[in-house]
Amino acid sequence: MIENFVHIHSLPSYRVKQFNVAYYQELIGSYDDLLTWPKDLRLQLQKALRFTSLREIKRAVSLHHDTEKILFERISDNKRFETVLMRHADGRNTVCVSCMIGCPVGCIFCATGRMGFQGNLTAEEIVDQVLFFSRVLKKEKQTVTNIVFMGMGEPLLNLNNVLDAISIFTDPKKMGMSERRITVSTSGHTDNLKKLLVHGYAGRLALSLHAPNQKLREQLMPIAKKFPLDDLLGVLQSHAEKTNKRVSFEYTLINGVNDTRKNAEELASLLRHRLTHVNLIPFNPILGLSLKRSTVEAIQNFSRVLTNKHVHHTVRVTMGDDIAAACGQLAGKI
């Protein structure tokens, strides 16, 4: 850490400030560009502190050039994972960060879950994914406007590192981003969700719901057995009421599994009177899985039922599926 380096070398505290401005705000590409520091000090820094924890292995860009996926290798143990940048037509640039390599939750429709769990990413490794794209975008005079924890892994099962990363994203002396531009997406670990909220997290929340009832949810997401839907929805509802902010619910539409009219009606009655927004995500196919995306007709019918029942929702436009960068397709092998 820079604070340690400054302390060990008995440097004045303004050196930390200069470092933070150059590193997190001016987005220098190497310590050579830390021009507010004298050269000999820069050389010492170079020897003591690596510039980044990640190595870029491969880059894939979607046909429409709106989605970019990087296969990273972390320097500490050469394990690989992926991060995605989505350039939206409205000017937002969203980085979809990973917080783990693989995932222990094992949802049956998710490529990351099928990899199994290979390790947590540190706060530094999470932040370095965003800094990587911030440096890319800087060359185009653009910035990262949003961060979503929707890459590999379950953020609430790596809570401390995720919270540390968020504090670097939002620290005005570092990246200075508004917490409202950060989204934590979870498969629903109710205990750790409570911890996140007690910690004072003020960013957005997305719950991966995917089923309108406990029974079907358990079949799709093993974590649902341990954390029943009623409790989970109760915690989210009281948070929504307290903050007056909608909680997003992700609902992946899988052909013949959770996409019938009856499923839609049940979902509408489950969410009635709740401050929510439902994101319908057409299922993204995973190699080796027989599950299929719902038909266009089924998606339209599902959406129509929600509209008739006044459930706030959108159908997500799938980005980057041609490079396996869409939701649930990340499996560490471009």
What residues make contact with ligand SF4 under the rule CB under 6 A?
103, 105-107, 110, 112-113, 153-154, 187, 208, 328
One-letter amino acid identity for 156? L
Whether 327 sits among the annotated catalytic residues: the reply is: yes
Distance CA 107, CA 164 (A): 26
Pick 129 or 170: Cβ nearer ligand SF4: 129
Stretch that binds ligand SAH, among 37-45, 73-81, 230-238, 283-291 (CB under 6 A): 283-291
> Is the distance from CB of 136 to CB of 87 less than 8 angstroms?
no
Handedness of CA 135, 136, 141, 142 (dihedral sign): negative
> Is the distance from CB of 75 to CB of 53 less than 8 angstroms?
yes
* Nearest residue to ligand SAH on Cβ basis: 328
By a kind-dependent CB cut-off of 5 to 8 A, residue 23 interacts, out of ligand SAH, ligand SF4, none, with none
Least distance (Å) between residue 38 CB and ligand SAH = 44
Pick 306 or 330: Cβ nearer ligand SAH: 330
Structure tokens at 18: 């200069």
The residues near 34 (Cβ < 8 Å, ≥ 6 apart) are 18, 19, 22, 23, 28, 42, 45
Choose the catalytic residue: 68, 82, 124, 125. Answer: 82
115 is an interface residue for ligand SAH by CB under 6 A: no
By a kind-dependent CB cut-off of 5 to 8 A, residue 128 interacts, out of ligand SF4, ligand SAH, none, with none
Q: Terminus-to-terminus CA distance in the chain, angstroms?
A: 32
Pick 129 or 134: Cβ nearer ligand SF4: 129
Whether 103 sits among the annotated catalytic residues: the reply is: no
286 is an interface residue for ligand SAH by CB under 6 A: yes
By a kind-dependent CB cut-off of 5 to 8 A, residue 93 interacts, out of ligand SF4, ligand SAH, none, with none
Distance CA 151, CA 328 (A): 8
Contacts with ligand SAH, residue ranges (CB under 6 A): 109-110, 150, 153-154, 185-187, 208, 250, 252, 281, 283-284, 286, 327-328
- Catalytic positions: 82, 327
